[in-house]
Amino acid sequence: VAETDHTKKLSRITILCTGTVHVIEQIHHQLERLVPVHYVSNLTLEGPHIERELALMKVVGKKEKRIEALQIAESFRAKTVDTTLDSFVFELTGSPEKIDAFIELMRPLGLVEVSRTGIAAMARGNEGIF
């Protein structure tokens, strides 16, 4: 959770949940009852929206595996944010499915650590929450 409006001291939390319509409505109502909650939005009901996730992945390897890891990272448009003689840390943003696919390709190449943010989401268009 990070502050999104310093002057109003507001933060934004994105919660991804699955369930029946009834379960989602219950979650919505429970969130509205929390004292500091100002607004609850169900993006799947409100129309087009954008979902993105960020992941950092550490891959340890030598020679051919390093070259292959760099080629895969380039094809996924991942950024190399740290490099040592034996390892890379890649940063990748995209859909959870894209990140899952990248992780699966990196496993045999020496994937040793993954840190994921979870989904951040926002409605498309010119309307904002704040």
Q: DSSP letters along 49-92, please?
A: EEEEEEEEEEEE--THHHHHHHHHHHHTT-EEEEE-SSEEEEEE
Buried b / exposed e along 118-130 (16+ C-beta atoms within 10 A): eeebeeeeeeeee
Q: What is the pLDDT, as a whole number, of residue 36?
A: 77
Overall fold of domain 49-122: Alpha-Beta Plaits (3.30.70)
Q: Kindly list the averaged pLDDT for each block of 10 residues, start to end, along the chain of length 130.
A: 69 79 88 77 82 96 94 98 96 96 97 93 80
Provide the residue ranges of all domains of the chain, joining segments of one domain with +: 2-40, 49-122
